[in-house]
Amino acid sequence: MFLPKYPDSPTPPPAHTHTAPTDLAPARRSLPSVSIDQKTVAVLVVGGVVLTALLAAVAVTAISVAVAAIVLRSMLRDQQHRR
């Protein structure tokens, strides 16, 4: 069912007859020059620090909300058991 189907009469691969011209030099492509100054590096570092701080703040907030939810649920459950 999952076996591959092969052709009945395989044909040999065509012979490679390409010859490179000797009078043409290969085309050289230059990479675009990128200049990074100190201001760019400073902006990137400050941006990374700000994003890291925001991620940490979100994580701390999520943990705080989860702990508060667990405490409130526990307090409400104890109050219902006392009635």
- Cα within 13 Å of Cα(38), Cβ side: 0
| 38 vs 78, residue with greater confidence | 38
**pLDDT tens column, 45-73:** 999 999 999 999 999 999 999 999 999 99
**Token pair listed for 3:** 């076996």
Handedness of CA 4, 7, 11, 17 (dihedral sign): negative
Give DSSP secondary structure letters for 40-79.
HHHHHHHHHHHHHHHHHHHHHHHHHHHHHHHHHHHHHHHH
Ranges of each domain in the chain: 56-83
**pLDDT tens column, 18-41:** 666 555 666 677 777 777 889 999
